[in-house]
Each structure stands twice: as structure tokens, then as C-alpha cells.
Amino acid sequence: MRPDLTIAEARTKICDLGRLFWQLGWASGTGGGISIRVGSTILMAPSGVEKENLRPHDIYELDGAGHVTRAPDGGQRLTACAPLFMAAYRQRQAGAVLHSHSLDVVLASMLVPPGQPLQLTRLEMLKGLEGVGYFDLHQIPVIDNTALELELKDRMEAAIDAWPRANAVIVRNHGVYVWGRDVAHAKTQAECLDWLCRATVRMHAAGLSNLTHDQSVPDLAARVGA
């Protein structure tokens, strides 16, 4: 199948998303990451640079095995996210993988007990996630953070295998890796997940439950005494 973007277009798209993510607070302080696959070529933004100031010639190209095939010549470093991005490409055949340092995701990760996933149900934005419905109990794995980003690789690979229905892995106190079949899909998945985490955190802070007055399922209404 012909890729929906050329490599040149994907380079520009990564720069556009860098600006957008910076504005959203997902990539401030050089954090976060963006990667797009075009056919068998994988493009990644460099590490430690201002994501809002990326230029198309700053972007790395890698092959399907994760080896750099084309590097920018400005002394940049390949993103430390590379092994994490490659996990989603290898294990899920992703078309794009995004890494956000969204504060709402970070706060939501603090509400999840060790070893458990983030559990979401009965929020309309769940329908924006791949294969998820309003009434589903959707689980997104949460792994503990490490001192270095690349040390997350084994945990991320294990979480991707253990939660085959999730297309994201949350890193506690850090952010999220989220992917989709192409870059537009990955972006919408990241947006929905961010909204769901924001809702979770605000509901918790306000002592609200989305189940209290939801009588759309009889057994649920009985269980919560509605």
C-alpha cells in the first residue's frame, strides 16, 4: 500500500506536531517525542532540542530494525525514545508513535496502584480510542519510570504484550507512549487519552464519579444505589 505521506511530508509533519505539542504542554523543556513511519522508513525527531523549533532537516531516518540510515548534520542526538518507539512499530505495526509529557497523564498515573492498569469506563471520549466503546472497561498499562528513558524498553515491551487491546503505555510520573495506524490516528489517540486522563484527575479532585447517576445499565444503577 502506498504510504499516505512522502518522507519530505513526514519531516514537515513532525515539525508541525512539535509546535502543536509544545503549545499543549506535551513537549515543553525539550521533552516528548514524535515518530512517523513511511513505508519501511521510520522518522524520529532528535533528542534534547526545542520541539517547537524543529526543522525538517533535523529529523533522523531509521530502517525497520532501528538502525539510523540518515542523520542530520548539526550535531543532534537520536532521541532516547527510539527503542520505545521501535517497540510499538515492531509489536503493533504502528504507523506513528507519539510520546507526550502531558501533565494530566502524569497526574492520572499517580492515581493507579502499583502493578495495575489505568481503568476507564463510561466516558464519551473512550469511543475515540481504537476498538473501545462507552460501556467497555478499558485498561491502559502503567509502568514505573526509570532514570533513563531507554531503560524503559523492557517494561514497555512487556506491557505492549500484556495489554493487546491498549494502544498506549503510560509511564508513571513521566508521560505516555501512544500509537496509531498513521500519524493522524496516533494524534487523535493521544488527544482522547489526554482528555480521559484530565477527566479522571478532575473527577478525583472534585470527589465526583461518572457512575453515580449513570442508569444506562440496570445492574450498574442497582450497584451504585441510583
Catalytic annotation, residues: 124
Q: How does DSSP classify residue 141?
A: -
- SS3 readout for 123-179: CHHHHHCCCCCCCCCEEECEECCCCCHHHHHHHHHHHHHHCCCCCEEEECCCEEEEE
How far is residue 20's CA from residue 34's CA, in Å, rounded to a whole number?
11
Q: Which three cell numbers stand for residue 218?
A: 440496570
Q: Are strands 142-143 and 168-171 parallel, antiparallel or unpaired?
A: parallel
Count CA within 13 A, CB hemisphere, residue 167.
27
Per DSSP, helices labelled H in 4-101 are 7-24, 82-92
The dihedral built from the CA positions of residue 145, 146, 149 and 154, taken in this order, carries a sign that is: negative
